[in-house]
Chain A
Amino acid sequence: MSLMVHQLRWDLRAVWPAGLVMLTLLLAKIWALISADDGRRSDLLSVAQADTYVIAAAWLVIALWQPMRPNAGREPDWRIRPLPRTTIALAKLLLMLLAIVFPVHLAELWLLRQLGFALPPGEWIYGVAGSVGLICGLSGIALLVRRPADLIGVLVTAGVLIATETMLAGFLIRTGEPLPPEIRGLRALTLVVTALVVGYGRLHNRSQTWLWIAFVAGLIVYLGLRLLPAAPSGLTVEASVRAKTPVLHRLSIQLPLELRLDPPGAYRVSSGDNPLLLDGVPAKPIGSQSAFFGDITASLGPEYRPTGPARNSLRLLFSVPPGELQAGPVTYRDSLRITSRSLSVAGQVPLKEGAGLRTGRAHLAVQEINLGEGGLELVVRVDQVHTNLLSPHAWRFALIHPARREVVRRHSTTRDWTSQLLVTRWHSRSTQVLRIGQDQMPIALERWLEGAELVLVSVESQASRLVPVSVDAFLDPAGAP
C-alpha cells in the first residue's frame, strides 16, 4: 500500500503543475463559453470551443504519458526494481482514474450543477462506468501478463483510446440522432491509430500474446458498443410506403416516399444507406434522411388539435451520377427505420423575447421573434444535457395556443449544427430557428401569436422496426423542374 501511494505521489508530482495549468485554462474556457450569450453562430465561440478541446486533449496526453516516466517503455532500469507489478499497475490505474474521471466526469458534473442542470445519476454512473470499466477491464487482463512492458503498453493503449474517444465524443456527439457513417469512420480510425500504437510497441518487443488478446478484447467491446447498428426492437406499427415519381434537381435526385403509419403517434423515420439504381448506375444517398411524424397533441390533452395536416412524406436524396443523364428506370431497395417516440411536456412559457424555461435537463430561451410578410421566424436557444443508452432523452420545443387549444404542426425548424456548442461532454447549446408562413395558420399569424406559448418537449425513443422499401419507377430528365 505504501509503495503504491509512493508511486502515485511520484507520478502526481510529475504532472500536477501541467495539470493545474490545463485545468485552469479548461475551466476558464468553459466559463467563457457559458457566459457568452450569443445565440447565433459565432466564429469567436467556435475558436474558443476548439481551444477548449485542444487544452483538454493536451491535459490528457500529459496526464497519461508523463507519469509513465521513469517507468515508461521497455528500459530494464525500472523492471529490475523490487516493485511488484500489481503495485505499480494499481498506482498507474489510480492515476489514470484521477486523470480521466476527475476532469472528464467530476468536473463536468460539478459544472452542470452550477449551471442548474440535474444530470440523472444513471447518466453519470454510466459515463464513469464506461471509462473506469474499460480501464479496469484492460488492466485486469494486463495484470495476468508477466512482462511489465506489456502491462504498461496495455494501460497506455487504454488511456489513449479513452482519451481519443472522449475527445471525439466531445466533437461529434449528437443528441438522439444516429451517428452518420463518417463519424463511425472516425471512431474506427481511432481504433486503427490505437492499433498502430500497439503495433509500434510490438516492433520493439518480442511476441506479446496477452497484449494482443487484451487489445482485441477491448476492440471488440468498443466496436460492439459503438459501431453495431441498433437492432429493431419489436415495434408494432403498420406502415405502408408508397413511392412518388422521382424528381431530378440540379444536384440531386429526389425520391419522395409517402407513409401511412398506424396507429397514429409520434415516430421518427430514417432512411438507409443503399444507393438508388438509375438505369443500373448507382446514385449514392446524400446522408441519412429522417423526418418526424406526429406532434405533441396527445401529450397536451385530447382537446388540442393541430393547425395543419400531418406530415406524411419523407424525401430521400441521392447524388446525381457523373456523366450525361439519360431517361431510364429507377430501382431502389432498402429499409426505413421507424422509431416510436414518447413525447411529454416538460414546461411551457408565454412567447416573448427574453422568455426562458429551465428544467433539470434542458434550458430554453427565446432570443428573437421576427414577424414579417413572410411569416414568423422564431430563434430559440436550447441548452440540453446529452443522453445515452440508459436515458435516451432529446429535447424539442413546440408552439401552442392554450386558449385556442391549437398546436402548430406544419412548420419548418432548422437547427444549425455548426452553431451547436458543446460546452461540456454532456452539455450542448444550439440555436434553432422555427419558421411559420402566414398562410399556415387558421387566423392571422399576428393575432394567433398574442396568446401563444412555447412548450418544451421531452422526446424519448422507444421501440423500432425496419420497413422494407421497394421502388421501381422511371426518371425522365427532360421533365425536370
Chain B
Amino acid sequence: MADLAITTQGLTRRFGHLTALENLDLSVKRGSFCALLGPNGAGKSTTFRLLLGLLRPTEGEGQILGTGLTSIRSELFQQVAYLADQPQLPRHVSARGYLAYVRPFYRSWDAALEQQLCEELAVPVDRRIATLSRGNRQKVALISCLAFRPRLLLLDEPFAGIDVAVRDQIVDSVLAGAGDRAMTVLLASHDLDEIERLVDQVVMLREGRCCLQEPTDQLLNRFRRVFVQLREPAATTPANPSFSEDWIQWRQDGARLELVHSHFDPARTERDLRQQLPNLEALSTAPMSLRDVIAAVSSPTRRPAPCP
C-alpha cells in the first residue's frame, strides 16, 4: 500500500440516473507514469475530480498519497498538481504575474525550476495571458503545476488543441523528466502517440467502467499481431468460443488473414490457430505498439480483451 500513489476500491459516481464511473479499482505505483485512456464520456474527468476531492464518490473509497478521498484538505495540494483540460487562468495578468501569484502558496516552490521551465518552453512571460495562444497558456498552467515539484501530477487531456510542436516540447522538456523527479503522473488522453515511450501503466475506461488495467510491458508482451496465410480462401468464422475472446480485430484478404492475439504465447498461439484453421499454411507474428493495442481493444466490432 505504501508504494501506491493512487488506490481506489469500487469507486463509483452517479449523477442522478447517469453513472459516470462504476466500480473503479485503480492502483498506481509511486513514481510511475500511468495513462488513463478512453473515449469522450468514458469517465476520465470524473475520475480526476473524484481523486482530487472535487466530487464525492457515490460509492467506494480511495486514497491519494495516503490520504482518503473524502478527507482531502488544502495541505495535500502542496504535493499534488492538477492540470485541467482547459485551465482557467486570469486573463488580465502576465504569465509572470500569475506565477508570482501562485508562488507563495507553495512551500516547495522552486524558483530556479520555474525559470528553467519558462526558458525551455519559451513562454513569453511578460505578455498578458489573454494575448497568449492556447498552447502558451497551457505551458503557463503546466509550469505552475510543476514548479513546486509535486509528488503527484494529474493531467487531464493536456494536449487537446495543442499543435504537434508544443506537444513534443512539453513531452521532451517536462514529462520525460518526471521519473527523475520521483513524480507520479496520471495522464488522461485520447492519443498515446507522444507519451507511449513514457507510460508504465495503462488504464482504459469505457462507459464508466474499467476495461483494461495493466503495466505497459506486460500489455505489449501479451498482444501480438498475427499474420496467417491459408492454403486457399475460406470462411474463417471460428467455431470455438475461446478463439473469439482471445482473438480480436481480424482482417481477411482472400487467403491472407491478419489478427490480434490478446494472450500471446508462441506455442499456444500456433496451436490455437491450427485447431481453428486446419488449412493454415504459414503464420508470422509482429509486436504491436501501445497505440495499436489500444486501438485493437477499442475496436467496436469485437469484444475487448478482459483484464487479466
A interface list, Cβ under 8 A from B: 2-3, 6, 10, 14, 69-70, 73, 75-77, 79-85
A-chain residues with CB within 8 Å of residue B81 when the two chains form the complex: 80
> How distant is B120 from chain A, measured CB to nearest CB, in Å?
23
Q: Name the one of B75, B80, B84 contacting A77, with C-beta atoms under 8 angstroms.
A: B84
Interface residues of B in 70-106 (CB under 8 A from A): 74-78, 80-82, 84, 87-90, 92, 98, 101-102, 104-106
The reply to whether B52 and A75 form a contact with Cβ atoms under 8 Å apart is no
Determine whether B54 belongs to the interface, using a CB cutoff of 8 Å to chain A.
yes
Closest to A73 in B: B88
B88 and A77 contact, CB distance less than 8 A: yes
28 CB-based A-B contacts, threshold 8 Å: A2-B104, A3-B104, A3-B105, A14-B90, A69-B90, A69-B92, A70-B98, A73-B88, A76-B52, A77-B84, A77-B87, A77-B89, A77-B141, A79-B52, A79-B54, A80-B52, A80-B77, A80-B81, A80-B82, A81-B74, A81-B77, A82-B75, A82-B76, A82-B77, A82-B78, A83-B74, A83-B105, A84-B74
Q: How large is the interface on B (under 10, 10 to 19, 20 to 34, 35 or more residues)?
A: 20 to 34
11 extra interchain contacts, Cβ-Cβ under 8 A, other than A6-B104, A80-B77? A3-B105, A69-B92, A75-B88, A76-B82, A77-B89, A80-B80, A80-B81, A81-B102, A81-B105, A82-B74, A82-B76
- Report, nearest first, the 4 A-B pairs whose CB atoms are least far apart: A70-B90, A75-B88, A82-B77, A80-B82
A76, B49: Cβ atoms closer than 8 Å: yes
Bound form: Cα–Cα A82–B54 in Å: 14
Instruction: Assess whether B92 is in contact with A75, with CB atoms less than 8 Å apart.
Output: no
Residue of B nearest to A85 (CB): B74
- Interface flags, B97-117, vs A, CB<8A=1, else 0: 010011011100000000000
Distance A80 CA – B52 CA, assembled complex (angstroms): 7
Residues on B with beta carbons closer than 8 Å to the beta carbon of A79 = 52, 54
CB-CB nearest in chain B for A5: B104
Complexed CA–CA distance, A51 and B75 (Å)? 47
Chain A positions within 8 Å of B101 at CB level: 6, 10
The smallest beta-carbon distance between A68 and chain B, in angstroms, is 10
Residues of A contacting B106 with CB < 8 Å? 82
B187 to chain A, nearest CB (A): 16
Report Cα–Cα, A79/B53, bound state, in Å.
10
In chain B, positions 35-92 with a C-beta closer than 8 Å to chain A are 49, 52, 54, 74-78, 80-82, 84, 87-90, 92
Q: How near does chain B come to A152, taking the closest CB pair, in angstroms?
A: 13
Assembled-state Cα–Cα distance A297/B85 (Å)? 79
Alpha-carbon distance between A436 and B76 when the two chains are bound, in angstroms: 79
A3 to B74, CA, bound (A): 13
CB distance from A146 to the nearest CB of B (A): 9
Question: B77 contacts A76, CB within 8 Å?
Answer: no
What is the bound-complex CA distance between A75 and B141, given in angstroms? 14
Which residues of chain B come closer than 8 Å to A6, judged between CB atoms? 101, 104
What is the minimal beta-carbon distance from B161 to any residue of chain A, in angstroms?
17
In the complex, how many angstroms separate the beta carbon of A359 from the nearest chain B beta carbon?
Answer: 48
The CA of A69 and the CA of B88, in the complex, are separated in Å by 9
| A75 lies within 8 A of B84 (CB) | yes
Nearest chain A CB to B158's CB is how many angstroms away?
Answer: 14
CA distance A81 to B52 in the complex (A): 11
Expressed in whole angstroms, the Cα–Cα distance for A80 and B104 within the complex equals: 14
Query: Closest CB-CB distance, B180 to chain A, in whole Å?
Result: 24
Q: How far is the CB of A242 from chain B (nearest CB, A)?
A: 67
Q: How far is the CB of B36 from chain A (nearest CB, A)?
A: 16
Interface centre among A3, A10, A75, A77 (most CB of B within 10 A): A77
Instruction: Return chain B residues, CB-CB under 8 Å to A75.
Output: 84, 88
Q: How far is the CA of A116 from the CA of B106 in the complex (A)?
A: 52
Query: Which residues of B are found within 8 Å of A77, using beta-carbon distances?
Result: 82, 84, 87-89, 141
A77 to B81, CA, bound (A): 10
Q: Are B54 and A76 in contact (CB under 8 A)?
A: yes
Instruction: Answer whether A76 and B84 are a contact pair too, CB < 8 Å, given A3-B105, A10-B101, A81-B102.
Output: yes
Q: Across the interface, which residues of A come within 8 angstroms of B78, CB to CB? A: 82
Q: Which residues of B contact A70 (CB under 8 A)?
A: 88-90, 98
**Complex Cα gap A73–B87 (Å):** 13
Q: List chain B residues, Cβ under 8 A from A3.
A: 104-105
Measured between beta carbons, the chain B residues less than 8 angstroms from A82 are 74-78, 105-106
Minimum CB–CB distance for A83 against chain B, Å: 5
Question: Chain B, 246-273, contact with A by CB distance < 8 Å: what is the 0/1 string?
Answer: 0000000000000000000000000000
Q: How far is the CA of A70 from the CA of B101 in the complex (A)?
A: 10
Q: Which residues of A contact B88 (CB under 8 A)?
A: 70, 73, 75, 77
- B79 to chain A: closest CB distance in Å? 9
Bound Cα distance A177, B79 (Å): 61
Cα(A338)–Cα(B27), bound, Å: 77
A13 to chain B, nearest CB (A): 8
Q: Smallest distance from the beta carbon of A34 to chain B beta carbons, Å?
A: 35
Alpha-carbon distance between A146 and B255 when the two chains are bound, in angstroms: 65
Q: B5 to chain A: closest CB distance in Å?
A: 16
CA distance A447 to B90 in the complex (A): 75
- Docked pose: A369 CA to B197 CA in angstroms: 96
B82 contacts which chain A residues (CB < 8 A)? 76-77, 80
Q: Which residue on chain A has the smallest CB distance to residue B102?
A: A81
- Which residues from B are CB-within-8-Å of A81? 74, 77, 102, 105
Q: Which residue of B lies closest to A82 (CB)?
A: B77
Q: Nearest Cβ in chain A — how far from B291, in angstroms?
A: 29
Residues from chain B with a CB closer than 8 A to the CB of A2 are: 104
Distance (whole angstroms) from the CB of A10 to the closest CB of chain B:
5
Contact with A along B222-242 (1 / 0, CB 8 A): 000000000000000000000
Q: Return chain A residues, CB-CB under 8 Å to B52.
A: 76, 79-80
- How many angstroms from the CA of A83 to the CA of B105 in the assembled complex? 6
Closest to B80 in A: A80
Identity of the chain B residue whose Cβ is nearest the Cβ of A76 in the assembled complex: B54
Nearest chain B CB to A305's CB is how many angstroms away? 71
Query: Inside 8 A of B105's CB, which chain A residues have their CB?
Result: 3, 81-83
Q: How far is the CB of B266 from chain A (nearest CB, A)?
A: 48
In the complex, the answer to whether B84 meets A14 with C-beta atoms within 8 Å is no
Distance of B67 from chain A, by nearest CB (Å): 13
Q: How distant is the Cα of A80 from the Cα of B101 in the complex, in angstroms? A: 15
